[in-house]
Structure 1
Amino acid sequence: MPGLIGRKIGMTQIFDDDGRAVGVTVLEVGPCPVVQIKTAARDGYDAVQLGFGRVKESNVRRPAKKPAKGHAARAGLDHVPRVLAEFDFENEDLEPGQQLTVDMFEVGSRVDVSGTTKGRGFQGVVKRHGFAGGRGSHGGSSVLRKPGSIGAGTDPSRVIKGMKMAGRMGGTKHMAMSRRVIRVDAEKNLLIVRGSIPGARNNIVMVRPGR
């Protein structure tokens, strides 16, 4: 079972059988058509390429989209997927044009969900790394959110690589490991998993079977 592409709808809470509120994330997962199957003999590695969503027909007519339209047509698709992604292919019986749906996941199973975290822009050390900052009294108003000393003395007389400093925060790929599947709605292509998932609403996510 390779995995599926989806998007994050948002977070909410549901009540379990014991009446406890459980924070969950709702994902719209699939349907994902098989666009291409790559083999080690032809491509150098084994993988399956899946698609998700569809590009507007008005945008498909643009010359830049002609290669994508031909690529999708070779798989027998009548539309151009908006997102393409590759997953590990383990000698499963898949064919181009085949639709993979959220039915492949079961309630109680575990999944790994990867996505792009929210971008926070350029941030200081207090927000980015949780530094306490300087003292707030006795003349400390000028060092409230400063990082403090960053040097390493006379030897080696330079800032050591990897020092926690101000910089760009967020906007990186992150994977939420081993999230439990709470509910599966095959009719609406919804997958409800326990806990949080990286990214903002409508963020594209990759859902793979957990270990």
Structure 2
Amino acid sequence: MKLSRSGVIAKKIGMSQIYKENGEAVPVTIIRVEENVVLSIKNKAKHGYNAVQVASFDQKPQRLNRSIKGLFEKANVAPKAKIKEFIVAEKYLLEVGCKIGVDHFKKGQCVDITGTSIGKGYAGAMKRHNFRGLEASHGVSISHRSAGSTGQRQDPGRTFKGKKMAGRMGGKVVTTQNIEVVDIDQELNLLVVKGAVPGNKQGYIYIRDAIKKALSY
């Protein structure tokens, strides 16, 4: 894994679209990046790896337990709702109390965004795995949306693990890679990226430099 700069904690606001000069509509996601504060750092000599722990989005002190309150008091940082640790290269280690904003990213660069996908509950094979379903006629009755056969014959006489079947869909940590930053609004702390990102509206997401793309600055 390529180690790079620290990422940021953000919130997904929702989706919209912008128009190019030729009239083409481009789907975009609006993301709010409030000020991220460095809560603590870890170095290879003491902890075995280099990392930066950041916190963001103000929180009432009474909603935090004593151990978490102690972290903020030690760093002299106001209580925050979300804490996230990013593994970084040694040259990108920051000082405790350092602030990271939306200007951490540049227009035109690519980022990787991690979030928890929208939970769909228990779903069938057609919705969950895009199965085509059974025939609409020719003797098929009632079971048009069933998965069909899932096993073999007497040998091996069982269904293999990992077989695509009905089950719980969504609600998993998903990372979407190489998402282009279309625009940045520093006054409103908004980041506009091309396409969709995982998660619900107002859900927390984590953004960092794309590991498969080199920084151009």
Q: In structure 1, what is the equivalent of residue 130 of structure 2?
A: 130
Q: In structure 1, what is the equivalent of residue 81 of structure 2?
A: 82
Supply the distance in 2 between the matched residues of 1:69 and 1:134 (Cα, whole angstroms).
Answer: 56
Deviation at 1:42, TM superposition (A): 2.0
Which range is displaced more, 10-19 or 181-190? Answer: 10-19
Aligned with residue 37 of structure 1, among 10, 25, 41: 41
Supply the distance in 1 between the matched residues of 2:19 and 2:55 (Cα, whole angstroms).
Answer: 33
Q: In structure 2, what is the equivalent of residue 6 of structure 1?
A: 10
Q: 1:92 to 1:130 in 2, by over 3 A?
A: closer
Q: In structure 1, what is the equivalent of residue 67 of structure 2?
A: 67
Partners of 1:118 and 1:198 within 8 A in 2: yes
Q: In structure 2, what is the equivalent of residue 182 of structure 1?
A: 182
Partners of 1:76 and 1:96 within 8 A in 2: no
Map Cα deviations across residues 126-169 of structure 1 (whole Å, 9 max, x no partner): 11111122223344222211111111112111101111111100
Partners of 1:135 and 1:143 within 8 A in 2: no
RMSD value over aligned CA atoms? 1.4
Supply the distance in 2 between the matched residues of 1:190 and 1:207 (Cα, whole angstroms).
Answer: 13
Note the residue ranges of structure 1 that are not aligned, 5 or more in a row: none
Return the TM-score normalized by structure 2: 0.90
Structure 2 residue 103 is matched with structure 1 residue 103: yes
Structure 2 residue 180 is matched with structure 1 residue 169: no
Note the residue ranges of structure 2 that are not aligned, 5 or more in a row: none
SS in 1 for 2:142: helix
Deviation at 1:186, TM superposition (A): 1.2
Q: Which amino acid aligns with 1:84?
A: I
Q: Which amino acid aligns with 1:105?
A: F
Identity of aligned residues (%): 39
